[in-house]
Structure 1
């Protein structure tokens, strides 16, 4: 099952059709896309019985962030050895955790205003918590996950490296810098297509002259801290809440790690795809 945010309303999607949850459930479930996670098991049980073909046709530009207002956003830095190396850092012994403030969340297909000359891309698998808690064992972690989504950890490197040591969160939280979607895909649907522990992560750019380049091409099996390990480590310190989001890190290929460095420019389009989950598209426009 895939759930999404269509113009601010919770929907179940299949292809280009969306079933409005509040209407289809006769008010049993709210239209609020964030509210489903508080009743996740009940909602999934109901949702899997619905006929989405009866829903309306929609365009991806109508979709908002798949998880619009999580209580907590965890972003994991340097979670691929290849990315740590290109960034000039040692492979971390413990998860490097920052946040992307919720005001940066945006839909999966839209325009993003560049904040300056050093905006970079980071394709990421996003984990959405379904059942929260503290001290969740690794062996139980997948059972606590509602589903997976596609995210971009867009980053203004100038803001990120304002000081010494650098601070990550502000430079990664400008308006539109956290696109997520197109939907949250439940684990059973992911597993019908691929291995949930080994998903392809790709990112490409179409430049203003029409040329295309693959920027990142990695696999989630190469994470330093796996998804179960992240859930266990985070929940050993904080309580994970239903609807929380984890950006799990990016593989090698970011612009800041290149020689010479390369950043996003107005007129370029970024396409991010994760195997068995979906595609998001961002078009970049000049700052006002």
Structure 2
């Protein structure tokens, strides 16, 4: 399934609604009151819930086109957004940093989340704004001290993140949070693909274009720390909850690593794509 959150484009009702893509451009609204995180919670507590959702989709009489609604980020209220840095060898090299022996971690917060086709706002303070396409893992079950062998059983699905970064803040202040967790700097979506639809998460083409030009082009087989390792590693000290997001790191080709560097500016458009998951499109605007 490909699951979405959306709002009505017009009218007074601005509440989030849940839906499933039944084709590339049509949505079936789900009979569920709550956010995607609430749905994932319900999914964990009731083994039959997935089957009921599938029956609702199969029995849907009416659908709506994507253009009729306002798609939102498929998750807007995760408890945790955990990002992994330097998780591709060539990206570590272009960043002039050593290949890590353990995952390099940082966090973002819900203030950073926006959806596909929403605008990333570049603060006036930021002069070196960069892009980073990443595979995002959505946790589906409470995970504490899980083994690598069982780790994928705790994954609900996958989506796309653009880990937008202010390099001039990130690399000059001795820590990464202020340069990473900026408002709108975690575009997410356009939907969550449930884990059963991805046969091999470690063999997905991953790319990003800037104004139509390919900037990043790699495959998730090149991850240093793969998904089972990351879920297991994190769960040893941090209880992962349904709806938590682990962003697995970006491949080479970021603006920082180019000669001369390429920094995002007002009017730029990125399209971040992962095979079998979808394309996340965002425009950048100067504050």
Q: TM-score, normalised by structure 2?
A: 0.90
Q: CA deviation at 1:83?
A: 0.6
Unaligned runs of 5+ in 1: 23-28, 207-211
Matched-pair contact (CA < 8 Å) for 1:17–1:53: no
Cα offsets for 1:172-211 (capped at 9, x unmatched)? 12221111111110122222xxx322111100011xxxxx
Q: CA deviation at 1:46?
A: 1.5
Unaligned runs of 5+ in 2: 8-15
How far apart in 1 are the matches of 2:183 and 2:230? 27
RMSD: 1.5
User: Equivalences for 1:126-165 in 2 at 5 Å?
Assistant: 126-163=136-173
Query: Kindly tell me: are residues 125 and 20 of structure 1, through their superposed partners in 2, closer, same or farther at Cα, counting changes over 3 Å?
Result: same
2:197 maps to what in 1?
189
Matched-pair contact (CA < 8 Å) for 1:78–1:92: yes
Cα offsets for 1:87-119 (capped at 9, x unmatched)? 111110101111011111001112222223210
2:256 maps to what in 1?
256
Q: Does 1:47 align with 2:50?
A: no
Q: Does 1:37 align with 2:53?
A: no
- More off after superposition, 49-58 vs 174-183: 49-58
User: Equivalences for 1:50-65 in 2 at 5 Å?
Assistant: 50-51=57-58, 54-59=62-67, 62-65=70-73
Matched-pair contact (CA < 8 Å) for 1:36–1:43: no
Which of 204, 218, 238 is residue 199 of structure 1 equivalent to?
A: 204
**Secondary structure, aligned partner of 2:40:** helix
Matched-pair contact (CA < 8 Å) for 2:5–2:75: yes
Query: Kindly tell me: are residues 180 and 61 of structure 1, through their superposed partners in 2, closer, same or farther at Cα, counting changes over 3 Å?
Result: farther
Q: TM-score, normalised by structure 1?
A: 0.90
